[in-house]
Amino acid sequence: MSSANGSAPPAPPRRPPPVTAPPVEAETERARDPSPPQAAATDVARTAGRGGLAVAFAKVYFIVQGLVQQIALPRVLGLDGYGAWSTVNSIASITYNPVISMSIQGVSRSIAAADPAEQPAALRSALKIHAWFALIFGVGFFLLSPGITRWAGAPHVTLGLKILSACMVLYALYAPLIGALNGQKRFLWQAGFDVLAATTRTVGLVGGAWYLAGRGLGVEGAASGFVLGLFFVFALSLGVVGVGRAGRGVSTGAYLGFVVPVLLGHVLLNLLLQADLTMLRRFAADAALAAGLPITAADPLVGAYRATQLFSFLPYQLLISVNFILFPMLASAVRDRDTAAVARFVRTGMRIALVIAGAMVSVTAGLPHALIRLVFGQEAAELGARSLGLLAIGFGTFALFGVMTTVLNSLKRELAGMAVTGFAAAAVVALCFLRVRGTEFGEELLFRTATATSIGLGLAALGAAFLVHRAAGAVAAPITVLRVVAATAAAITVGRQLPVSGPVSTIGGALGVGVVYLVALVAARELTGRDLELVRGIIAKRTR
């Protein structure tokens, strides 16, 4: 049993024997086989490689499961029920997502920094701290739920939000256990729990919604299934990781000094991600009442806007992989004080991000009506297509914003990154008040929300670009920006002219728009044979 599960500490190591010159036979054997340090390093590299692939697979699986949820829930709950659930989950995720990030990073850092014999004590003391977080967030969220839903214009989802307060407790206890696996480099276990959690969440959400939808409690059923699935995974992870054992552990002050800024940073990020849908919920409810409609009439509008977000978020999710590569490279260059390398890595990373984001935006902004209809149906497409055509562009800049904040963090400009994220969230909220409040009930509410959000995200991206240029001396070559923008505009224009009506033509149209985008980049000499050779080299290395 591992020390993380509370076993006794290992016995003190024996004194090593005196070092003597190795015999010739031993030297011969050593020439044929890796030396013990080399073999150990090879084993570590292989383990890390397998673990990294497993974690990457788990992340892709998580994204796919999220897509399955978003496709299945509207069919189980209807567009109005899906909108009501989106309101509940959007509000709750502003709290539980930061709790997850804080917990994993905090415990992983503490476990990795501790000696193997001290890791069980570090785990036990960290879990005690997170138990307090669980109590504070769980009770606080439960008590504040009625006020939150009343402010958001959605009092009919209060019970669903109260049910999700249990997720605050469970995530505050479960995520530290995953952080412990990460800190112990048990990546296969971590990936396994990521896959299991994504699966149980999907089954719980869809199954719970289906079971209670006929009784008019679909949102409450989805929330209850979410909680039950999470409890199941938490119980299993507790059995695998354990609770450590008493000992010196981590310093509470030092631990809080690390995790609280992480928590605040992720709260700002999630406020930015959910601000537009939450503000739309509030103003759509006001508009419904002003039109003499029940407050629940806002639910289909929220559901349609959530459908636009599903496609708009794709560039951001895809560019997370760029962040994983860019962060350690920049950190190494900063450590070595190689300013030229910092500028080169930033410029190259931003070029890759621009090209990838442009490809995704070309498709989603070029075929907005067809894509929403393919996944969510005709009603959602009629309400959300115009908004997606604009919001896809806005969130394309947000994807670049995410890369740039990663650069700032890599360059030890965390406060600058936090400040620009806070500015972006405030800008989106302020612009929603200016552009959306008072709009008549209908599709125009969605479009004005998308307009306010896109402007706010664009301003934030410009601010982040300024900060990155000041810190690294580079962002992206202006000619690259112009070429990508021109290619994206050309592909969107072509996409809007395509006659797409069914699933096959939609998929074919998406591929066609992507081809137009790539051809435009090649014609502008942004993509050249050198890029193709680079891709071939990477593929060749991966397949060896």
**Which strand (E) or helix (H) includes residue 128?**
helix 119-151
Which pLDDT score, from 0 to 100, does residue 45 have?
Answer: 45
Alpha-carbon 352 to chain mean position: 19
Residue type at 470? R
DSSP state of 294: -
Which pLDDT score, from 0 to 100, does residue 14 have?
Answer: 38
For residue 421, what are its two tokens? 């994220």
Residue type at 306? R
Which pLDDT score, from 0 to 100, does residue 225 have?
Answer: 95
Residue ranges of the chain whose pLDDT lies below 70: 1-56, 321-332, 334-335, 531-544
CB atoms within 10 A of CB 538: 10
Alpha-carbon 527 to chain mean position: 29
Which pLDDT score, from 0 to 100, does residue 321 have?
Answer: 61
Which pLDDT score, from 0 to 100, does residue 531 have?
Answer: 63
Q: Are 241 and 186 in contact (CB under 8 A)?
A: no
**Which strand (E) or helix (H) includes residue 213?**
helix 187-213
**Which strand (E) or helix (H) includes residue 201?**
helix 187-213
Q: Are 246 and 124 in contact (CB under 8 A)?
A: yes
Q: For the chain, what's the residue count?
A: 544
DSSP state of 218: H
One DSSP character per residue, 352-378 reads: HHHHHHHHHHHHHHHSHHHHHHHHH-H
DSSP state of 20: -
For residue 416, what are its two tokens? 């600058």
- Summarised one tens digit per residue, pLDDT across range 393-418 is 999 999 999 888 888 877 778 888 88
Comparing C-alpha atoms, which of 240, 502, 257 is closest to residue 374? 502
For residue 145, what are its two tokens? 């739920």
CA–CA gap between residue 402 and residue 493 (Å, rounded):
27
φ and ψ at 474, to 5 degrees? -160, 155
CA–CA gap between residue 200 and residue 147 (Å, rounded):
30
**Residues contacting 129, CB < 8 A, separation 6+:** 250, 252, 255, 256
Which pLDDT score, from 0 to 100, does residue 16 have?
Answer: 39
DSSP count for the chain of H helices, then E strands: 17, 0
Comparing C-alpha atoms, which of 464, 465, 468, 462 is closest to residue 330? 468
CA–CA gap between residue 460 and residue 401 (Å, rounded):
7
Q: Could you tell me the sign of the dihedral formed by the alpha carbons of 140, 144, 146, 149, in that order?
A: negative
HSE of 249 in the Cβ direction (CA atoms, 13 Å)? 19
For the packed helices 252-290 and 443-472, what is the interaxial angle rounded to 10 degrees? 150
307-329 as b/e: b if 16+ CB within 10 A: bbbbbbbbbbbbbeebbeebeeb
Q: Are 236 and 177 in contact (CB under 8 A)?
A: no
CA–CA gap between residue 167 and residue 441 (Å, rounded):
33
Which pLDDT score, from 0 to 100, does residue 10 have?
Answer: 36
**Residues contacting 478, CB < 8 A, separation 6+:** none
Percent helix / strand / coil, the chain, rounded to 5: 85, 0, 15
Q: Are 134 and 173 in contact (CB under 8 A)?
A: yes
CB atoms within 10 A of CB 57: 13
Measure Cα distances from 15 to 12, 19, 35, 118 in Å.
Answer: 9, 12, 21, 21
Measure Cα distances from 95 to 161, 319, 327 in Å.
Answer: 12, 23, 25
**Residues contacting 336, CB < 8 A, separation 6+:** none
Which pLDDT score, from 0 to 100, does residue 324 have?
Answer: 57
**Residues contacting 299, CB < 8 A, separation 6+:** 79, 80, 81, 82, 83, 84, 87
Residue type at 147? G
- List the alpha helices (DSSP H) in 367-442: 368-376, 378-410, 414-435
One DSSP character per residue, 51-98 reads: HHHHHHHHHHHHHHHHHHHHHHHHHHHHHHHHHHHHHHHHHHHHHHHH
Comparing C-alpha atoms, which of 91, 72, 99, 56 is closest to residue 202? 72
Which pLDDT score, from 0 to 100, does residue 82 have?
Answer: 93
CA–CA gap between residue 267 and residue 273 (Å, rounded):
10
Which pLDDT score, from 0 to 100, does residue 339 have?
Answer: 81
Q: Are 394 and 540 in contact (CB under 8 A)?
A: no
DSSP reduced 3-state for 249: coil
**Residues contacting 332, CB < 8 A, separation 6+:** none
Alpha-carbon 45 to chain mean position: 27
Which pLDDT score, from 0 to 100, does residue 55 have?
Answer: 66
